[in-house]
Amino acid sequence: MKRFEQFSSHLEVLKGASSEDLNNTFIISGIIDKYFIQFELGWKLFKDLLRHEGRTNAGTGSPREIIKTAYKVYDFLDEDKWLDMLSERNNMAHLYDEDEAKILVDHILNEYIDEFESIKVGLINRYGETFLMY
Structural domain boundaries of the chain? 2-129
CB 50 within 8 A of CB 58: yes
Among residues 100, 68, 72, 99, the alpha carbon closest in space to that of 86 is found at: 68
CB 35 within 8 A of CB 18: no
How far is 68 from 44, CA to CA, in rounded Å?
A: 13
CB 127 within 8 A of CB 73: no
Q: How much is the pLDDT for 50?
A: 93
How far is 45 from 6, CA to CA, in rounded Å?
A: 9
Q: How much is the pLDDT for 36?
A: 94
Q: How much is the pLDDT for 130?
A: 81
> What mean pLDDT is reported for the chain?
91
Q: How much is the pLDDT for 44?
A: 94
C-alpha distances (whole Å) from 103 to each of 21, 107, 131 are: 15, 6, 37
Q: How much is the pLDDT for 93?
A: 62
How far is 29 from 27, CA to CA, in rounded Å?
A: 5
Q: How much is the pLDDT for 59?
A: 74
- Percentage of the chain exceeding pLDDT 90: 75
CB 51 within 8 A of CB 69: no
Q: Does domain 2-129 have CATH number 3.10.20?
A: no
pLDDT digits (tens, 9 = 90+) for 31-87: 999 999 999 999 999 999 999 888 887 777 799 999 999 999 999 999 999 999 999
pLDDT exceeds cutoff 80 at 94: no
- Percentage of the chain exceeding pLDDT 70: 97
Q: How far apart are the first and last CA of the chain?
A: 5
pTM: 0.92
